[in-house]
């Protein structure tokens, strides 16, 4: 059994991770920590765990977790994980950071976009970007994995085949993204309050959203050339789910059917990526509570553009599910273990 601990267990991503790990046949949850709820039982914070997992939440002690656990998940806001990572810690346990501290390889880029000093830049080169479908072999041997952001997972997977096959003019990429309110986290936030978000639809973070350099970094790696793109997120009054619609000008003469075949070939061995056929397009409800990425691709002959539409559950494939997928790879067990969940459409 893999002994697991979670630091930051009571955020939305943390509790989703607990739910997935509890049902994982090869994992035992040893420690759960929470700064806000230390001393309380998990079931007092999330009553859905009543009679199922009444474990007491501890304070944030990474060293104790490292002593007792094979893997420690950090589900903390940016800037809080890096300061706890050390060589001593990594010699004892594997680390999966669901936050943003190790996603960007360039310390200066991280500090510019996140407005905090990076506390452990010596591990940036070693950390593996945990988008399993693209970095599977590196993840298998990693000591520290940087779990991708939710918007980025959806954006990168939907554009990777186009970039890899030089189908588009990379300088023309525009990503129009929408997220449910749970993407803002569980802490009190005025924009996420019900009266502020219900019956409304708004853009935010225009030109400065922190997932932008992450998307650019990974697509540039696939391309072999630097990519600069436009990314605009929107808040939608639903609990969970992300839908991205990406646009780019075609660099080759190709139609929708040919593109769909190209995507199907590119992801032919990927259980969690589903390519829609015959012009169908994904919806967030088709992936709810699952680890799937659903992608639909079409061309617009009139404007000579390609439109890629993708959907994920931001708390599963966009956070906890992807973390479990990474853990499975790191410990050499079947990659879909604990993740064989049929989406709940209603």
Burial class (CB in 10 A: 0-12, 13-18, 19+), 188: exposed
Q: Is 132 a catalytic residue?
A: no
Q: Are 131 and 157 in contact (CB under 8 A)?
A: yes
Give the CA distances from residue 321 to residues 19, 109, 139, 167, 170, in Å, rounded to whole numbers and listed in that order: 10, 27, 15, 30, 30
Q: Is the dihedral of CA 256, 261, 262, 267 positive or negative?
A: positive
Radius of gyration of the CA atoms of the chain, in A: 20
Q: What is the DSSP string of 157-213?
A: HHHHHHHHTT-B-GGG-EEEEEE-GGGG-SS--GGGSHHHHTT--EE-STTT-TTHH
DSSP 55: P
Classified as helix, coil or strand, 233 is strand
Active-site choice (69, 132, 150, 154) = 150
Residue 22, H or E segment: helix 12-22
Nearest alpha carbon to residue 170 among 226, 210, 233, 245: 226
In whole angstroms, give the CA distance from residue 215 to residue 231: 9
Catalytic positions, written as ranges? 150
């Amino acid at each position: 059994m893999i002994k697991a601990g979670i630091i930051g267990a009571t955020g939305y991503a943390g509790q989703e991770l607990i739910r997935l790990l509890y049902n994982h046949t090869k994992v035992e949850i040893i420690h759960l920590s929470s700064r806000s709820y230390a001393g309380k039982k998990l079931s007092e914070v999330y009553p859905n765990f009543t009679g199922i997992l009444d474990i007491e939440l501890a304070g944030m002690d990474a060293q104790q977790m490292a002593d007792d656990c094979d893997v420690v998940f950090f589900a903390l806001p940016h800037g809080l994980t890096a300061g706890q990572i050390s060589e001593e810690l990594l010699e004892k346990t594997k680390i999966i950071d669901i936050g943003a501290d190790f996603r960007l390889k360039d310390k200066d880029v991280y500090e510019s976009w996140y407005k905090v000093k990076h506390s452990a830049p010596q591990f940036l080169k070693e950390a593996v970007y945990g988008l399993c479908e693209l970095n599977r072999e590196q993840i298998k041997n990693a000591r520290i994995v940087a779990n991708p952001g939710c918007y980025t997972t959806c954006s990168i997977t939907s554009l990777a085949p186009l970039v890899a096959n030089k189908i588009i003019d990379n300088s023309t990429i525009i990503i129009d993204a929408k997220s449910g309110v749970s993407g803002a986290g569980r802490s009190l936030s005025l924009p996420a309050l019900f009266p502020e978000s219900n019956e409304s639809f708004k853009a935010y973070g225009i030109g400065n959203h922190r997932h932008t350099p992450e998307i650019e970094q990974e697509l540039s790696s696939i391309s072999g050339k630097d990519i600069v793109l436009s990314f605009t997120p929107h808040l939608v009054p639903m609990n969970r789910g992300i839908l991205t619609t990406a646009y780019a000008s075609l660099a080759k003469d190709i139609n929708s059917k040919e593109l769909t075949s190209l995507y199907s070939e590119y992801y032919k061995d990927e259980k969690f990526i589903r390519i829609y056929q015959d012009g169908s397009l994904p919806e967030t409800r088709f992936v709810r509570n699952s680890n799937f990425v659903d992608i639909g691709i079409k061309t617009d002959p009139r404007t000579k553009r390609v439109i890629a539409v993708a959907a994920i559950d931001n708390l599963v494939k966009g956070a906890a599910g992807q973390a479990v997928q990474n853990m499975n790879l790191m410990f050499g067990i079947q990659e879909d273990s604990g993740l064989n969940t049929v989406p709940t459409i209603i």
